[in-house]
C-alpha cells in the first residue's frame, strides 16, 4: 500500500498513512485488518529524528505494533502476542517494515516538511451558552477554538478577571483532517448580575492571546415582565393622584355646605304674643333674630 504523510505540531510531528493494509497472518495467506501507520518527526535535540509506527487494531484496541526505533514487532495485549511472535519470525516482513521509515516517512518529510514547520493558523474562538435544565440557574458556557495549527494550544476560562478552576472541563484536541485542529473547554457556573466571563486562548500563531467576553443578559420574557411591572406601577400612581385630587375636592365642597348650615342653625327665633281684636284670641308671632341681640320690637298689647 501507499499513502501520504501528515505532519503535526509539537516535538514529534505525526503523519498518518495507510489506514488499512494487507498483512501476512499466521496460517498463511493475507487478512485485511484495521491498521494505522504513523510517521513521527522531531528535531528537539537539534538532530533530525524520524520514527515509523505501524499499529494493529482488533475490536478498537491496539494489540500489537511495529516500532522502527526497536526494529521489531511488539505485543501490547495477550491477544497480540502470537501475531507479534509470528511477524518477527518473517524476515521479509521485518525488512519491509524497517525500510518503511525511509520509504514513507523521510520521503514525505522532504516534500511537506518545510511547509508544515512554518505553517501557522490562528484559531477561531466562539462562546456558546446553554442550559441542561431550563429551570436551573446554572449555565454551561462552551468555549470553542477551531481551525488552528499547530496542535498545541492553551484555553482557559476567566471569571471577573480571575482564572476559573471549579466547574471547568477540558476536551481533547481533535484533528479536522485538513491540517487543522479544534478543541472545546466548558465552564459550568451560576452567573450573577454584573459577572463577566471570558475565554482566553494562547497559541503559537498569536502574538497576544485572544480574549472573548460573555455577560449574562436578561431574557426577553424577563424584560417583558419588568416593563409590565414598570408600566403598571406608573398607571397605579396616576390613578392614585387622580383619586386623591377628587377626594380632596369633594371634602372641600362638603366643608363649605356644612359651614352655611351652621349659620342657619345658629339663627334664633323669638315669639311675640298677639291679640286678635275681632275674636279676642291671643296668639304669637315669630320674629327671627340674628345674633344674640334683643327682639326687634316690643310685644303688642
Q: Residue 28: beta bridge partners?
A: none
For residue 20, the model assigns a pLDDT of: 39
Most confident of the following: 21-35, 68-82, 132-146? 68-82
DSSP E strand boundaries for 100-196: 124-130, 139-148, 153-159, 162-163, 168-170, 174-175, 181-189
Q: Residue 217: beta bridge partners?
A: none
What is the overall mean pLDDT for the chain?
76
Phi first, then psi, for residue 148 (nearest 5°) are -120, 155
Evaluate if residue 88 carries a pLDDT over 60.
yes
With cell 499499529, the residue in question is 55
Average pLDDT of the segment spanning 80-89: 93
Range 164-184 burial, b when 16+ CB lie within 10 A, else e:
beeebeeeebeeeeebbbbbb
What percent of the chain lies above the pLDDT cut of 70?
66
pLDDT band at 1 (very low <50, low <70, confident <90, very high): very low
Cell of 170: 477540558
Cell of 60: 478498537
Question: What gap in Å lies between CA 42 and CA 189, rounded to an integer?
Answer: 41
The three-class DSSP label of residue 30 is: strand
- DSSP secondary structure of 7-22: --SSSSEEEEE-SEEE
pLDDT digits (tens, 9 = 90+) for 118-167: 789 999 999 999 887 777 888 999 999 999 998 899 999 999 999 999 99
pLDDT band at 19 (very low <50, low <70, confident <90, very high): very low
pLDDT digits (tens, 9 = 90+) for 43-61: 666 677 888 999 998 888 8
pLDDT digits (tens, 9 = 90+) for 203-230: 999 999 999 999 987 545 555 666 677 7
With cell 485542529, the residue in question is 181
Cell of 244: 386623591
Local structure of residue 255 (DSSP, 8 states)? H
For residue 253, the model assigns a pLDDT of: 67
Cβ atoms within 10 A of the Cβ of 242, count? 10
Evaluate if residue 258 carries a pLDDT over 90.
no
Question: What gap in Å lies between CA 83 and CA 74, rounded to an integer?
Answer: 9
Question: What gap in Å lies between CA 19 and CA 4, rounded to an integer?
Answer: 11
Nearest by Cα to 185 from 143, 153, 129, 147: 143
Evaluate if residue 280 carries a pLDDT over 80.
no
Q: At what angle do helices 91-100 and 81-88 cross, to 10 degrees?
A: 90
For residue 68, the model assigns a pLDDT of: 92
* Cβ pair 19, 46 in contact under 8 A: no
Amino acid at each position: 500500500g501507499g499513502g501520504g504523510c501528515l505532519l503535526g505540531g509539537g516535538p514529534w510531528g505525526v503523519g498518518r498513512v495507510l489506514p488499512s493494509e494487507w498483512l501476512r497472518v499466521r496460517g498463511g495467506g493475507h487478512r485485511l485488518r484495521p491498521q494505522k501507520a504513523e510517521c513521527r518527526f522531531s528535531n528537539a535535540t537539534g538532530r533530525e529524528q524520524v520514527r515509523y509506527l505501524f499499529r494493529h487494531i482488533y475490536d478498537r484496541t491496539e494489540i500489537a505494533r511495529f516500532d522502527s526505533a526497536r526494529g521489531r514487532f511488539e505485543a501490547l495485549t495477550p491477544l497480540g502476542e502470537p501475531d507479534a511472535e509470528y511477524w518477527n519470525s518473517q524476515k521479509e516482513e521485518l525488512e519491509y517494515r524497517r525500510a518503511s521509515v525511509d520509504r514513507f516517512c523521510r520521503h514525505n518529510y522532504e516534500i511537506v516538511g518545510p511547509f508544515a514547520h512554518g505553517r501557522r493558523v490562528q484559531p477561531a474562538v466562539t462562546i456558546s451558552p446553554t442550559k441542561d435544565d431550563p429551570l436551573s440557574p446554572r449555565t454551561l458556557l462552551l468555549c470553542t477554538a477551531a481551525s488552528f495549527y499547530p496542535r498545541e494550544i492553551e484555553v482557559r476560562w476567566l471569571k471577573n478577571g480571575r482564572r476559573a478552576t471549579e466547574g471547568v472541563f477540558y476536551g481533547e484536541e481533535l484533528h479536522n483532517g485538513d491540517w487543522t485542529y479544534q478543541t472545546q473547554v466548558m465552564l459550568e457556573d451560576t452567573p450573577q448580575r454584573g459577572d463577566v466571563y471570558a475565554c482566553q486562548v494562547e497559541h503559537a500563531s498569536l502574538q497576544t492571546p485572544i480574549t472573548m467576553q460573555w455577560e449574562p443578559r436578561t431574557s426577553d420574557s424577563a424584560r417583558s415582565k419588568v416593563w409590565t411591572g414598570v408600566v403598571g406601577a406608573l398607571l397605579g400612581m396616576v390613578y392614585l393622584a387622580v383619586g386623591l385630587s377628587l377626594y380632596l375636592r369633594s371634602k372641600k365642597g362638603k366643608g363649605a355646605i356644612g359651614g352655611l348650615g351652621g349659620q342657619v342653625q345658629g339663627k334664633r327665633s323669638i315669639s311675640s304674643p298677639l291679640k286678635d281684636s275681632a275674636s279676642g284670641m291671643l296668639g304669637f308671632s315669630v320674629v327671627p333674630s340674628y345674633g344674640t341681640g334683643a327682639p326687634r320690637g316690643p310685644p303688642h298689647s
